[in-house]
Amino acid sequence: MAYSWFKAFHIVGFVVWFAGLFYLVRLFIYHVEANLEPEPARTILKNQYQIMEKRLYDIITTPGLFVTVAMAIGILSTNMELLKEPWLHYKLGFVAVLIGYHIYCAKLMKQLAADECKWTGQSLRALNEAPTLLLVVIVMLATFKNNLPTDLTAWLIFGLVIFMAVSIQLYAKIRRRNQEKLTGQLKEESGVKAF
């Protein structure tokens, strides 16, 4: 019975944790892109994003991490034999990478608050895909365990990376085109008003 409770809240914890990580870096993107706005909008937006990032990290994302890890420890306490399973070693390795990503997000948050972040919106969009890849691998390991079809999984991850890269580039192209169209319309309107 304890195993089921631990497992249920482990799932709840990682859903909350991943939701926070997905949205956090999205806020970083908006924060960086606020630099393109004129004043006073730039300052207002950056201050608002800083508040949102801190609250999301402290109130949702980090507690999600702690619940996930605490419940995983609970699961292992009910069945110590799991520690002998190779799939679990791989899963724990990927979780360690994810925890590193979580900690790196805190560093980025501090850099953004101090106006020292060197990341662009485009590069942050790519960074935002890292937890997706980790999620896929971690869930597949937990589901298939030692029977994970590694060839198929490798192709799946490769396909996801290609899809994400193409999507990011396509999105950037659409944004540039829309920005150029808007700039052209503004020039036209200002030219009409000049007459």
3-state secondary structure of 180: helix
How many Å from the N-terminal Cα to the C-terminal Cα in the chain?
A: 79
- Give the CA dihedral 108, 114, 115, 119, nearest 10 degrees: -10
Whether residue 173 is annotated as binding a ligand: the answer is no
Q: Measuring CA to CA, which residue among 20, 50, 24, 18 is closest to residue 35?
A: 50
All residues at 6 or more sequence positions from 121 whose CB lies less than 8 Å from its CB, including other chains: 29, 32, 33
Q: How far apart are CA 132 and CA 33, in angstroms?
A: 22
Whether residue 10 is annotated as binding a ligand: the answer is yes
Q: How far apart are CA 3 and CA 132, in angstroms?
A: 27
Residues flagged as binding site for heme: 10, 91
Residues flagged as binding site: 10, 91
